[in-house]
């Protein structure tokens, strides 16, 4: 049974679906030294049979270590056409290739294959946070669409707090 806010969020997603940026939201976490860390991420759907929000990311990014150390997070999602804002707090689970849980590894693989090839290619580029002068590095990168997740691919799920 899903939470009452989920129906409202789904209605906002549907109403704003014509806007590419409607799937972008801000994810705030606790960064190094206890300082706030905020970044824009892309909504990748809800985990099956739950209200957990899925986010693809690069395991090489700083946020992975920060989240593993302090797994609390909050998303802030603003829909420009309907003027709605959602703030959802919860615990973030990091699912990378080192997970000992077979169910989490399967979930990570399902999310990988649900992503576009273009999205998957981002995990083969330069490490996040490294300045890139141009797109030349992308031209020579190829990925087998039938191959499973690369090491740099990480799935995050935010499990919303109840209440």
Architecture of the CATH domain 4-160: Roll (2.30)
Q: What is the pTM of this model?
A: 0.88
| Domain boundaries, given as residue ranges, for the chain | 4-160
Dump pLDDT digits (tens) for 70-88. 999 999 999 999 999 999 9
Looking from the CA of 12 toward its CB, the CA atoms found within 13 Å total: 20
Q: Quick one: tokens of 122?
A: 């981002």
* Residue 126: per-residue pLDDT: 79
**Most confident range, picked from 10-19, 122-131, 141-150:** 10-19
Q: What percent of the chain has pLDDT over 70?
A: 94
Give the whole-angstrom CA distance, residue 118 versus residue 92: 25
Give the bridge partners for 46, in sequence order.
53
């Amino acid at each position: 049974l899903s939470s009452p806010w989920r129906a409202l969020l789904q209605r906002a997603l549907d109403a704003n679906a014509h806007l590419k940026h409607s799937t972008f939201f801000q994810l705030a976490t606790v960064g190094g030294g206890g300082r706030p860390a905020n970044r824009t991420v892309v909504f990748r759907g809800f985990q099956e049979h739950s209200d957990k929000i899925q986010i693809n990311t690069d395991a090489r990014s700083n946020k992975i270590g920060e989240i593993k150390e302090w797994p609390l997070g909050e998303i802030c999602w603003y829909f420009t056409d309907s003027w709605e804002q959602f703030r959802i707090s919860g615990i973030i689970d990091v699912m990378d290739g080192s997970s000992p849980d077979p169910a989490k590894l399967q979930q990570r693989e399902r999310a990988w294959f649900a992503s576009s090839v273009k999205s998957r290619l981002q995990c083969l580029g330069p490490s996040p946070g490294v300045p890139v002068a141009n797109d030349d590095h992308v031209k020579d990168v190829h990925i087998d669409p039938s191959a499973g997740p690369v090491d740099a691919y990480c799935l995050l799920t935010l499990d919303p707090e109840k209440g």
